Structure 1
Amino acid sequence: KPKAKPQAKLQLRTKYDLIKKWEPFFTGGRVEVSNSENYLLCVCGDKIKIVNVDSGLVEKELSHDGDDVTCLAVSPDDSMIVTSTKSLLLKQWEWKMEVKCVRTWRAIHMFPVVSMDFDPTSTLLATGGSDGTIKVWDMIRQYCTHNFRGSPGIVNCVAFHPNNLTLYSAADDYNIRVWDLNSSKLVKVLNSHVSSVTCLKFSNVDCLVSAGRDNVVCLWNVKEGGNEPYKVIPVFESVEAVILVPKELEKCFNFERKENETGFLIITAGSKGQLRVWESSNGKCVFTNPDNDSNVASGYIHAKLIPDTNKMVAVTFDHCIDCLDMNGLVVNKQMVGYNDEIVDLKLLGKNDSHIIVVTNSPHIKVFNMKTSACQVLKKHSDTVLCVDVFKNRTHFVSSSKDNTVCLWRMEENTYAVTCLVVGAGHTHDVGAVTCCNNKMEFLVSGSQDQTLKIWTINETFQLRVKHTVMAHSKNINSIVVSPNDKLIASGSQDKLAKLWKVSDGSVVGTFKGHKRGIWCVQFSPMDQVLATSSADGSIKLWSLSDFTCLKTLEGHDCSVLKVIFIAKGTQMVSCGSDGLLKLWTIKLSECIQTVEAHDEKAWALCSDVEDTMIISGGADSIISFWKDVTDEQRREDIEAKQKTMLHHQELQNLLQEKKYEKALHFAIKLSQPFTALNVIKELMWETDGYDFLNKYLSILRLDQKSELLKFVVSWNTNSRNCHEAHAVLKALLSNTAPEDFEQIENYQSVIESLLPYTERHFHRMNKISQQATFVDYTWQLIKMKE
C-alpha cells in the first residue's frame, strides 16, 4: 500500500497587525472639488480630508486641532485652501506638495462663517457669516477690504461676478443683494424667491442663475439691471445645487441646439434625489438621469462639476458621494463618507472581493475591497441588524427591525446586488439571522418575539417557513448553524444558549452558566464544541454531547460582543464593548495578543477563509483590517536570536583579547547592561583599569553617557555591583559638565533612583569601617599584653 502523505503541522497564529483603516472622511456640509486635479475636499469634524476620486482613498488631511470646520473654499488656481472654524478663525493652507498652514487670522464675524467664494483671479475672498455680515479679504496684501452689513440672518451663499468688482449674496430674507466693491455700497436687491436661496451661478457676464428651496430656478439679466428675473423655471423640487453645463458637454445629453438658438443647459440637484437637465431658453426638462435605487429618497445636498474631466460629483443627505459620468449622468462610483455605527459585517464574493457592512440605518452597504466603491442597498424600511453569507459567496441574507428577512444575490461579472425575495412572518425586530453551510437549502432567523424560524429556499428562491419555535424568554441575540447543517444554536438575553434540530425544530439541550445575557454563539469547525460569549465578560466552551462547560476564558472587562474560530478551531478571536480585540489559544486557555481595535464598542468581526485577515467594525464608524504576521514575526525572532548569539560571541572574543574599549562600546550600543558590567569588572582587575575607564568615558557622546547612566542605576541596586557602579559614576561626573547632564532625558529621576541605594551602600561601608577599626584596636591590645 502506498504510504499516506504526512499531514502538515497546524500553525497557530500569534500576531495580527493593523494594515489599514476605513475611517469617516465626510460628516456633512459642502464638498469642494479641486480645479486642476481629481480630488475632493470634504469636511470631517475638525479636519479637511482630501480624497482621490479614482482610488477613493484619503491622501491628505488638514487638521484644526479640535476646532470644527464650518466652511471651506478652494481658489480657482488651486494654489490655496481657506477654511473657517467655529472659533471664528480663518486659515490659509498650501496643499499641492505638502500640507501646511501658512496663515491664520481672525474672521472678525460675530458668529461662524457659513459661506465663501473666491473671485476669478484668486486674489479676493468673500466670507458670509451667521451674523448677517459679509467681508471681503485681499489674499495678497492680507487685510479686510470691505465689510457689508444689512443682510438679515444667515448669509447662505456669496458669489463674485466673473468680469467686474461686484459681489452677489443671499440671506434669510430670500433676497439677492448686489454689492459694488468700488463704491462699497449696496446697489441692488433682487427679490423673486419666496424661500431660501441655496446657490448663485453665472453662466456668462450677463446672466445670473439662482435656485432655492421654493422649487424654482430664476435667470437674471445682470447687464440690463432689472429687479425681476427674465425667466423662472419651475423644477418641482427643493433645489440645493445647480451646475451650468459647458457648451462642449451638451451632446452628453443627446441635446442639439439650433443654429440661431441661444441659451444653456442647467443641471439641478435637490430633494428628490434625481439629477435633471433644463434648457434655459424654454424652461423644459431635456434629460433626467436614470432611476437609481441607491439615490431614491436620499436627496442631494450639493453637486459640482469636476473640471477638465467628463465627470461630476453629487452629495446625498446620507453622506454618500456619487461620481457620475456626464454621458447620461450614470453613477460610475459611489463613496460613503460616513458609515455611522457599524453593527455587522461579512465578506462576499469570490476571493472575498467585497465586504457587506451593516450600519445603524435601513441601508446595506457593499464595498469593493480594492476601490472602496460602494453599492447602497435599499429594501428594508427600518434599521438592518444582521447579515450572513452562504457558502457560494454570492448570496446573502439580512434581517431588520422591520420584522423581515431579505435574500440577496450578487452577480459574479457585474457585482451588482439585487434583492431576490423578502420573508415576512416575525412580529418584532429580527435581530439574528444565519445561513446553512452546505447546499443553499435553508436559513434561520431569530427575533425579539422570542421565536426561531427555519425558512426553506426552493429553486426559484422563494422563502417558506418550515418551523417556528418559541425558543427563549427574552430577545434572541445570536443564532448559528452547525457545520453539518443538522443543528442550530441560539443565544439570548435570558442567559441561556440552546441547541435545536434542523429537521423538526425540537430542542436538544440547554447550556446554563452565564451570569448575564449571551451576545454570540459559534460552532467549532472541527470539534463538537459550542462557544458562547456573554455580557458577563467571559467566553465559555461547551460540549455538545453532555452540555457541560469545558473551558471558561476570561480577559475582557466588559461584554464580549462577538467571537469567531480560526486556525481550524484551535484558536479564537473575540471583541467587546471595551473596543479590544483578543486572540486566544484554546488548548492553553490563554490570551496571546490584545490590541486596541476601536475607541468604542466593537460590534462586528469576521475573517477570510484562510484566516490570514480579520476585519473588525465598531461604533466609532471605523472598519479595521488586521493581517496575520505570524510568519514574519517568527522570522524576525529567529533573526534576532541569531544576531544576539553573534553579538555575544563577538563580545566574548573582545574580552578574551582584552579589547575592553571595543567591548564596552559594543555593550552600550546593544543596550546590554550586564554585559557592560562584566566588561567593567574585567577592566577593574587590570592595573591601570581606572585610568583607562576615565579616558574612555571622556570621549563618549552624550547619548552614550545617558545609556551608561541607566546601566549604573541598574547595577547600583545590588550591593555586589556597587563598586563598579560608583567607579563608572565617578568617571561620568568627572568627565561631564553639569549643563550637559541637564540635557539627559529624565536625568532628575535617574539621580533620584541612585540616591537611596547609594546612601544604603555608604552606611554599610561606614559600618564595615567601624568594625575593622574595632578589630584593629583589639589586636593592638593583645599585642601590648604580650
Structure 2
Amino acid sequence: FKHLLFFRSCKYDIYLSQDALNLLKAYLAKHGHVLLIQVLQTWFHIDINNDTNKKNSEDEEEMEEEVNVTRNDFDDRAMDANDVFAKCNGHAEYQSVDKELRDLQDAIKGVRESMAPLKLYKISAPDTQLVCAKTDPNCNILCGGFSNSEVRLWDLGQNNVKRRVNRNISEFELACYMQPEPSPDDNTLQIGAGLPLRGHSGPVQDVCVLPREELILSASYDNTMRAWRLSDYSCAALYRGHNYPIWCMDVSKSGLFVVTGSNDRTAKLWSLNRTFPVRVFVGHLSDVTCVKFHPNEVYIATGGADRSVRLWSVCDARLMRVLCGHRGVVRTLAFAPSGSYLASAGDDKKIKVWDLAACTCVHEYRGHHGKVTALDWSAIGKSSLTNRMVPDPSDLPTENSLLCSAGMDGIVKVVCDSYSKNKQMSNQEVLSSTYNTKCTYLVDVQVHPEWVVAIGTKR
C-alpha cells in the first residue's frame, strides 16, 4: 500500500532524453496503446534530460540511425491535428543501466560473439534408422537415406511446397474413373514422416542434393546409384558399375561429375549422362569409405578402411599422394577452400590436417569422444559468421576459414583456423566452439553463410 501511494503521488521521477521520448511516442502510436497513454498522462512525471555527454561515439552513431528512421515516421504522424500524443509524456530506458544488468548483457554478448550459430535438424524415424542426410546449399530441402532402402525428403519451408507426385505405373485407369480433386490444404512434403522415394533394394548409404539440376543422388548397399527428379520424384537414371555395396559419394562443384567409393576397394568416376563409370581408381587395400573432390576438380581424395588417405588425378586416375597416420577407418574428408590442405577424420576420433605439397600432417585436433562422421571446411560468404569467431577479422590472413566436425558422440566442433607453409599452428592460436546436441548420432555438418547446419538422430 505504501508503494502504491508513492506511485500515485509521482514519488519516482523519470529522466530521459527528447530522442527517447520521441521513440516511445512513435512506438505507442504505431501499436495504439491507449491505456498506456492514459497512465503516462495521469501518473508519471517526465523530466527531459538533454545531457548527451555520457554517450560514447558508438552509442551516438547507433542512436542517430534509429532516431532518424523512427523520427521520419513520427514526424508524419505529428503533422496530424488529431495526434493522440500531443499531450503525452513517456519514458525509455535509463541512460545509466544497472550494473548487474549491464554485466549480464555483456556476458550474453560475449557468448553470442564467440560462437558460430548452429542450426540442428533432428530426424526421428521409429520405423527405420537414419544412415545419411544432406541439405541443399540454400537449406531448402533436407534429404535422408534410411536402412529400409528409402530416400526421404523434407521441405524446410523456403520453397518446393507443392509438387506433383509421380503416378503409380502399376495402376491403370478405366474410362469411368474420375480423378479426385486435390485438397487445398494438401502439402506433398511435410515435416513429419517426409516424402519417400522407393527403388533401392538395400540401405541407402549416401545422398546428395543437386538443386541446379533438380536432381537427388543416392548410393545404396545394393551396388547401385540412382538419380531422382525433384519435379515429379521419379527415378531418372540407374547407375551400375560397382560389384559390391557403395559406401560414399561426392559431386564436383560444377555438377558435371560424381565419384563413389565401394566395398570393392575402388572409387569410380561418373558422368550424370552416362550410366557406366568413366574412371576407376584402384589402390586401396580395403573398402573405400569416403571420397571428396578437390576445389579445382583436378584431384580426388579417398579414404579407406586401410587407414590411409590417397590423392588421385582425375584425368588419368593416377595416384599422386598417400597419407598415412590414422589408427582407424577414415570416414570423412574435407579440402580447405584454397585447396592446399586436406582434413581427414574417422574411428580414431582425431582430425588430421595435411599439407598436400609437403605430404605431412601439420595439425591434429582432438575433442571428440566418439567416431567422427562428418567434416566441412568452408570459406564464409558473409562476414557475419566469421565475426562471431574472431574479434578482429581484419587481422586474419587470406587462408582463413571454418573447419566443422560432427560425430557419433553428438558433438559439433567449429574451429576457426589459419595456416602458413612455414609454421605449424599452436593450440593458443586456434579459436573453437563446441556444441553438445541431444542427438546420439550426427551424420552430417555443413557451413552456411549465416550458420552451421548439423543433421542427426537419436538411436
Shorter-chain TM-score tier:
0.5 to 0.7
Alpha-carbon contact 2:264-2:287 (below 8 Å) kept = yes
CA contact (8 A) 1:217 1:233 kept: yes
TM-score, normalising length: structure 2? 0.57
The residue identity in structure 2 corresponding to 1:75 is L
The corresponding residue for 1:115 is 248
- After superposition, give the CA deviation of every residue in 1:524-571 in whole Å (9 maximum; x if it has no partner): xxxxxxxxxxxxxxxxxxxxxxxxxxxxxxxxxxxxxxxxxxxxxxxx
Q: Secondary structure at the match of 1:29?
A: strand
SS of 1:30's partner is strand
Tell me the residue number matched to 2:204. 69
Aligned with residue 218 of structure 2, among 83, 106, 110: 83
Distance 2:372 2:329 in 1: 10
- Between the two structures, name the one with larger relative contact order (CA 8 Å, sep ≥ 6): 2
Answering whether residue 342 of structure 2 is matched by residue 208 of structure 1, we say yes
Higher strand share: 1
SS of the residue 1:251 aligns to: helix
Residue 47 of structure 1 is matched in structure 2 by 150
SS of alignment partner, residue 334 of structure 2: strand
- Structure 1 Cα separation of the partners of residues 252 and 330 of structure 2: 20
Residue 57 of structure 1 and its aligned partner are, at CA, apart by 3.2
Question: Which string of whole-angstrom CA distances, capped at 9 and with x for unpartnered residues, describes residues 116-163 of structure 1?
Answer: 011111111111111111111111344421112221221110011110
Question: Which residue matches 1:243?
Answer: 376
- In the TM superposition, 1:16-27 aligns within 5 A as 24=126, 27=129
Structure 1 residues without counterparts, runs of 5 or longer:
1-21, 320-786
Query: Is the alpha carbon distance of 1:26 and 1:34 closer, same or farther for their aligned partners in structure 2, counting shifts above 3 Å?
Result: farther
* Counterpart for residue 236 of structure 2: 102
Q: Is the 8 A contact 1:217 1:235 kept in 2?
A: no
> Structure 2: which 5+ runs fail to align?
1-123, 158-189, 419-424
Listed as ranges, the matches of 1:452-471 within 5 Å are: none
Kindly indicate whether the alpha-carbon contact (under 8 Å) linking 1:76 and 1:118 is maintained by their aligned counterparts in 2: no
The structure number with the bigger radius of gyration is 1
CA distance in 2, matches of 1:309, 1:25: 34
Asked if residue 188 in structure 1 is aligned to residue 188 in structure 2, the reply is no
Contact kept in structure 2, 1:35 and 1:77, CA below 8 Å = no
Pairing of 1:260-271 with structure 2 (within 5 A)? 260-261=396-397, 262-271=399-408
Whether the 8 Å CA contact 2:335–2:342 is kept in 1: the answer is yes
Equivalent-residue separation in structure 2 for 1:291 and 1:313 (angstroms):
12
Give the CA deviation at 1:58. 4.5
Q: Deviations over 1:732-767 (max 9, x none)?
A: xxxxxxxxxxxxxxxxxxxxxxxxxxxxxxxxxxxx
Match of 2:445 among 304, 311, 334: 304
Report the residue type matching 2:414 in the other structure: V
Match of 2:416 in 1: 279
Residues 99-130 of structure 1 show CA distances to partners (whole Å, capped at 9, x for unaligned) of 11111232x22211011011111111111111
Find the residue that maps to 2:395 and give its secondary structure. Answer: coil
C-alpha RMSD of the superposition = 2.8
Aligned partners of 1:36 and 1:78 also within 8 Å: no
Q: Deviations over 1:411-459 (max 9, x none)?
A: xxxxxxxxxxxxxxxxxxxxxxxxxxxxxxxxxxxxxxxxxxxxxxxxx
SS of residue matched to 2:388: helix
Corresponding residue for 2:166? none
1:469-526 CA distance string (max 9 Å, x none)? xxxxxxxxxxxxxxxxxxxxxxxxxxxxxxxxxxxxxxxxxxxxxxxxxxxxxxxxxx
Give the corresponding residue for 1:233: 365
Equivalent residues in 2 for 1:144-183 (5 A)?
A: 144-183=277-316
For 2:444 and 2:206, locate their aligned partners in 1 and report how far apart those are by CA, in whole Å: 16
Deviations 1:609-668 (A, max 9, x none): xxxxxxxxxxxxxxxxxxxxxxxxxxxxxxxxxxxxxxxxxxxxxxxxxxxxxxxxxxxx
Query: 1:53 Cα shift?
Result: 3.3
Q: Aligned partners of 2:218, 2:327: CA distance in 1, in Å?
A: 30
**For 1:62-112, what per-residue CA distance to the aligned partner results, in whole angstroms no more than 9, with x for missing partners?**
1116544333233373532222333323221111x2211111232x22211
Distance 2:287 2:152 in 1: 26
Q: Distance in 1 between matches of 2:200 and 2:366?
A: 44
Alpha-carbon separation, structure 1, partners of 2:447 and 2:281: 32
Q: CA deviation at 1:173?
A: 1.3
SS in 2 for 1:121: coil
Contact 1:41–1:50 at 8 Å: present in 2 too?
A: yes
Counterpart CA distance in 1 for 2:349 and 2:386 is 24
Corresponding residue to 1:288 among 433, 438, 441:
433
- Deviations along 1:248-273, one digit per CA (max 9) or x if unpaired, are 31223465445154533322222443
Q: How many residues of Structure 1 are paired with residues of Structure 2 in the alignment? A: 289
